[in-house]
Structure 1
Amino acid sequence: MKPTDRKTEIITIAAQLFKEKGYSAVTMRDMAQAMNIKAASLYNHIKSKQEILVLIIIEIAEEFTSTMLQIVNSDETTIQKLEKVIQLHIDITLRNPDALACLNNDWMHLADKELTYFIKMREEYEENFRTIIKQGIANHEIKNLNIEVIIFSTLSTLRTLYLWYGKKKSPNAEVLKSNMIEVLLNGII
């Protein structure tokens, strides 16, 4: 179900506040104040702060998971698959850095059912990434290095891109994509 415009606005503002203060520190009153409305008015559009968290995190997690599944199952080379994974992270970062920050920093606040679902998606995503790396090593497309080091160094860089991008003199989106692909896949020497 697609959220209403007002609900979308609530979600957007909540993601900004969650990024700035952290989920636990943000109240419904904070959200209402940021929107210039009464806190009671929020409940016309949402049930709770937890509902907002779920809407923010699960939507992005599902996008990551479904796109990764398409990438891993494609007939492309390992390098092409890795380029698409990098592009996926950059695209989501550029489109919604606040929601990505919420996904990375506040996922542990999800309620039981949603938390289990999120962890399952995250594990599937990482396992699909692991599959791409293993195939690349087996096909001699990438160096035979420790798979977990490759996964950690690549994903930790991509998952925290929102912390850096947009500050100081960040490159435009195309330069960012081409340079990130070059650095992450070929290194700097």
Structure 2
Amino acid sequence: MKTLTRKEEIISVASLLFKEKGYSAVSMRDIAQAVGMKAASLYNHISSKQEILATLILQVAKEFTTGMEAVVAENNAPLQKIQTIIEMHIDITVNYSEGLAALNNDWMHLEDKDLADFVQMRSDYEENFRQIIKQGIDAGEIQPRHPEVILFSILSTLRTLYLWYQKRGKLDVNVLKKDMVAVFLNGIVNKH
């Protein structure tokens, strides 16, 4: 496993503190203490708490953006694209749970260009997902339900998955992918 740079270690520790207490409740002194250094020394590695937050959130947002761009570029049917998106969310949840906590809970504390960039990435992501859903409805692959309801139903579950996943004791990722895709795409009713 790769050794973290001091800056990466600071960001990692800060992400845990943000997740536990919330961005607003964490000070640079708290971060320095958790890393085991003096607050003044922290500034040799990081310029501000805002830089840490932006690094965390934008890293995760870029993962989602890159993943969605790959899905959109694929020449797959809409249902296959939705399955890929669900699986991507699960992978990001497993690999970036602290960053997801910051993204979901603290994004509004971003400033200036970082905030604008995040809001644009999120908006583009949702619009791409919405268009895939509409394509699925138009192709007859998805029941003719309101696309916003479908989008909300899937994203609200996926956005809070990191909370549930931690409480479950690390359920096997492959089982999680298989079962979540099945529930989202086939529902829970046995069709005899």
Superposed pair shares fold, TM > 0.5 = yes
Asked whether 1:96 is paired with 2:92, we answer no
Asked whether 1:129 is paired with 2:132, we answer no
* Number of the residue aligned with 2:173: 173
Q: Distance in 2 between matches of 1:142 and 1:19?
A: 36
Q: Distance in 1 between matches of 2:57 and 2:156?
A: 18
Q: Distance in 1 between matches of 2:118 and 2:171?
A: 32
Q: Distance in 2 between matches of 1:144 and 1:136?
A: 9
TM-superposed CA distance for 1:166, in Å, is 2.2
* Number of the residue aligned with 2:86: 86
Checking the alignment, whether the CA contact within 8 Å between 2:60 and 2:96 is kept in structure 1 is no
Residue by residue, what CA displacement relative to the aligned partner does 1:51-86 show, whole Å, maximum 9, x if unpaired?
Answer: 001100111111111210210221011111011101
Q: How does 1:149-160 map to 2 (within 5 A)?
A: 149-160=149-160
Q: Distance in 1 between matches of 2:43 and 2:17?
A: 18
Q: Distance in 2 between matches of 1:31 and 1:75?
A: 46
Q: Distance in 2 between matches of 1:13 and 1:151?
A: 33
Question: Given residue 52 of structure 1, which amino acid in structure 2 is its aligned partner?
Answer: I
Give the length in aligned residue pairs. 186
TM-superposed CA distance for 1:169, in Å, is 4.5
Q: How does 1:1-189 map to 2 (within 5 A)?
A: 5-189=5-189
Question: Given residue 26 of structure 2, which amino acid in structure 1 is its aligned partner?
Answer: V
Residue by residue, what CA displacement relative to the aligned partner does 1:117-163 show, whole Å, maximum 9, x if unpaired?
Answer: 11011000000000100100011111110100000010010011011
The structure-2 alpha-carbon separation of the partners of 1:61 and 1:169, relative to structure 1 and needing over 3 Å to count, comes to closer
Q: Distance in 2 between matches of 1:170 and 1:149?
A: 29
Checking the alignment, whether the CA contact within 8 Å between 2:63 and 2:92 is kept in structure 1 is no
Unaligned runs of 5+ in 1: none
- In the TM superposition, structure 1's runs of 4+ consecutive aligned residues that sit over 4 Å from their partners are none
TM-score normalised according to structure 1 size: 0.95
CA RMSD, 1 decimal:
1.1
Q: Distance in 1 between matches of 2:124 and 2:42?
A: 34
Q: Distance in 2 between matches of 1:133 and 1:104?
A: 23
Identical counterparts, % of pairs: 58
Q: Distance in 1 between matches of 2:180 and 2:24?
A: 33
Q: Distance in 2 between matches of 1:66 and 1:168?
A: 28
